[in-house]
Structure 1
Amino acid sequence: MKSKTIFTRLLTGFMAAALIVAVPAKAVRADSFKVVTVGGDLNAQQKADMLKYFGVDEKTANIVTVNIDEEKKYLADSVSNDKIGTKSISCSYIEPTSSGGLNVSVNNVTWVDSNMIKNALITAGITNANVKVSAPFKVSGTAALTGILKGFENSSKGAKIDEDKKKTANQELTTTAALGDMIGKDQASKVINDIKAQVVKDKPKDEAAIKEIVQSELKKYDLKLSSEDVDKITALMNKINGLNLNFSDIKDQIGQVSNQLKDVLTSPEAKGFFSKLIEAIKSIFAKIFG
């Protein structure tokens, strides 16, 4: 009787094992941690071209659509409607990583650049990822961050990003881009990055103290901005200060961006460009007043 019971148990075990082997496992995509966000107003061909550009397809990445209403939700308070547009076009590729910092590249984007996006991502709490931004034709790129953050939330990390961080990061992106129109993209990214680092590190007690930091950093760069522009940067930094970011968590990424920009701004090419620019300005004034 005992042997019969043992035999029955063994037979049941073998049958269960056979069923596990026989039932096909759910397909797991090796690259499922990659996400591509596509503008909701792209046609089928444009979408296919974007997937090809990012080197993925619907089998190797999670494809997420971003619409214009989502973009306006985060941009309406910080940028004019002509910059936002009426259609959702920008696309992005997001691959979260566990180390290596932020690697960002842009294509067909005219108003924002990779360093501006990096800085905004750091504010949003993303410190390690490979990111590509593109569009089927030239766009301002203001909506890129909305897509990236949505893509990150739909990636393997799957963590919901705080709404205040999203809005503040988008405001940082557009504020830096506007400053870039006045002093150059790289210089603007460096200035905003340095001010942010000081604010996050010092955690000033009020907006007046934040404004002192802003003015002090601008003075280092010998930048004389209008009181309105100073107030805009101060308002942005006040929001960043309210996020209670931990400096130790982001100092490496902030330092990485700062060092890269420093190398760019002090390169022989950059110096040559600024020298030519100064000479061109002198020549114009000489013709007018000479």
Structure 2
Amino acid sequence: MKFKTIFSKLLIVLMAITVVLPISGNRVYADAYKVVTLGGDLTDSQKQEMLKYFGVTRQDANVIDVNIDEEKKYLGDVASSDKIGTKSISCAYVEPTSSGGLNVSTNNIYWVSSSMIKNALITAGIKNANVKASAPFNVSGTAALTGILKGFENSANGGKIDENKKKAANDELVTTGELGDKIGKDKAAGVMNDIKTQVVKDKPKTEAGVRKIVENVTNNYNLNLSTGDIDKITNVMNKINGLNLNFGDIKSQLGSVADQLKGTLSSEQTQGFFAKIINAVKNFFSNLF
């Protein structure tokens, strides 16, 4: 009788263990949904600073390094050496989600904007994710996309991204940044988004067809761009056109970027309008005395 009692207790313990273990396993799996990529050339203290900024620890997220060779692989043909640099500094937080679209923010990134990154992620085929790009000090952010894409691929809910999409996305990011140097980051992102929308929708059969779309959109913005600028934009749009992206799949994403940028541009225009009024009033009174 005593033996049966002991055996029953052991059986209960074993059953409890089999129930608890899968739960523990699920927690580990869920943690892998969050990925942080750290610049391989950061010091240990800088890496810890970045983890703190992203609000994670090495125990509750998949933390991986990105090295300069990985960055050069995708940026070497499209970005100047001063934009790439010689060290891997940029960091990223990636959390793929099942809905909610792309939520992108940046910190200590001066050359690349959140809208530029969002546009590039759409090209790469990412639909839903919370993304943060940052660095321990001010950097251009050109290489941030490399870390973001690597983070997405190494997350439990991510997946392998086509190499052509990666290259096109990085090319788009750099080209938009260069255009932004001339017309402003938000306007550049808006122009590139409008061109991409038209290209993906119409799917031109020739490079001349792509170039016509580029010229039409830039003319609508009244941009006085050089032939070289048009060539660069046409080149990246040819790459995007070759990806055969489904317009129906990304229509809402492209529209959300356009809506976001329209609000920003409208705000800038309003500020410019009131600035003109204030200057006119100042000039009026200064002429009276």
TM-score when scaled to structure 1?
A: 0.87
2: CA distance between counterparts of 1:167 and 1:17? 56
Find the counterpart in structure 1 of residue 270 from structure 2: 271
Q: Kindly tell me: are residues 110 and 132 of structure 1, through their superposed partners in 2, closer, same or farther at Cα, counting changes over 3 Å?
A: same
2:44 partner amino acid: A
- Residue 121 of structure 2 contacts residue 169 of structure 2 at CA under 8 Å; is this kept in 1? yes
Three-state SS of the structure 1 residue aligned to 2:140 is coil
The reply on whether 1:75 has 2:75 as its aligned counterpart is yes
Task: Name the aligned partner's letter for residue 132 of structure 2.
Answer: K
SS in 2 for 1:111: coil
1:98 deviation in Å? 1.3
Number of residue pairs aligned between Structure 1 and Structure 2: 267
C-alpha distance 219-275 of structure 1, shift in aligned 2 (>3 A): farther
Equivalent residue, structure 2, for 1:205: 205
CA offsets 1:162-200 (integer angstroms, 9 cap, x no match):
000000000000000000000000000000000000000
Structure 1 residue 14: Cα displacement: 9.9
C-alpha change, 1:192 and 1:274, in structure 2 (3 Å) is: farther
SS at structure 1 position matched to 2:201: helix
The alpha carbon displacement at 1:127 in A equals 1.4
Per the alignment, residue 8 of structure 1 pairs with none
Question: What is the distance in 2 between the residues matched to 1:54 and 1:273?
Answer: 35
Task: Report the counterpart of residue 237 of structure 2 in structure 1.
Answer: 237
Report what 2:16 is aligned to.
21
SS of 1:108's equivalent?
strand
* Cα distance change of structure 1 residues 16 and 198 upon mapping to structure 2, 3 Å threshold: farther
1:59 paired residue number: 59
SS in 1 for 2:211: helix
Q: Among the aligned pairs, what percent are the same residue?
A: 64
- Structure 1 distance, partners of 2:153, 2:251, is 23
What CA distance in whole angstroms lies between the structure 2 residues aligned with 1:73 and 1:39? 15
Amino acid at match of 2:77: D
1:217 match? 217
For the aligned residues, what is the CA RMSD? 2.2
- What CA distance in whole angstroms lies between the structure 2 residues aligned with 1:206 and 1:19? 67
Task: Specify every segment of 5 or more residues in structure 1 that has no aligned partner in the other structure, as ranges.
Answer: 1-11, 281-290
| CA–CA distance in structure 2, aligned partners of residues 213 and 16 of structure 1 | 72
Query: Greater CA deviation, 26-35 or 249-258?
Result: 26-35
**Taking structure 1 as reference, are residues 116 and 21 closer, same or farther at Cα in structure 2, changes over 3 Å only?**
same
Q: Output the CA distance in 1 between the equivalents of 2:81 and 2:275.
A: 35
SS in 1 for 2:31: coil
CA distance in 2, matches of 1:197, 1:108: 29
CA–CA separation in structure 2 for the residues paired with 1:131 and 1:21: 39
Residue 272 of structure 1 aligns to which amino acid in structure 2?
Q
In 2, Cα distance between equivalents of 1:138 and 1:72? 20
Segments of 4+ moved more than 2 angstroms: 12-24, 26-32, 269-277
Query: What's the offset of the Cα at 1:21?
Result: 3.2
| Correspondence list, 1:1-290, <5 A | 19-22=14-17, 25=21, 26-27=24-25, 28-29=27-28, 30-267=30-267, 269-273=268-272
* Structure-2 residue corresponding to 1:7: none
Q: CA deviation at 1:271?
A: 3.3
Q: 1:191 to 1:13 in 2, by over 3 A?
A: farther
**How many Å separate the matches in 1 of 2:57 and 2:269?**
39
Distance 1:207 1:16, change over 3 A: farther
Can you list the C-alpha shifts for 1:190-242, whole angstroms capped at 9, x where unaligned?
Answer: 00000000000000001000000000001110112000110110011000000
1-structure distance, mates of 2:275, 2:228: 30
251 and 135 in structure 1: CA distance in 2 versus 1, 3 angstrom threshold: same
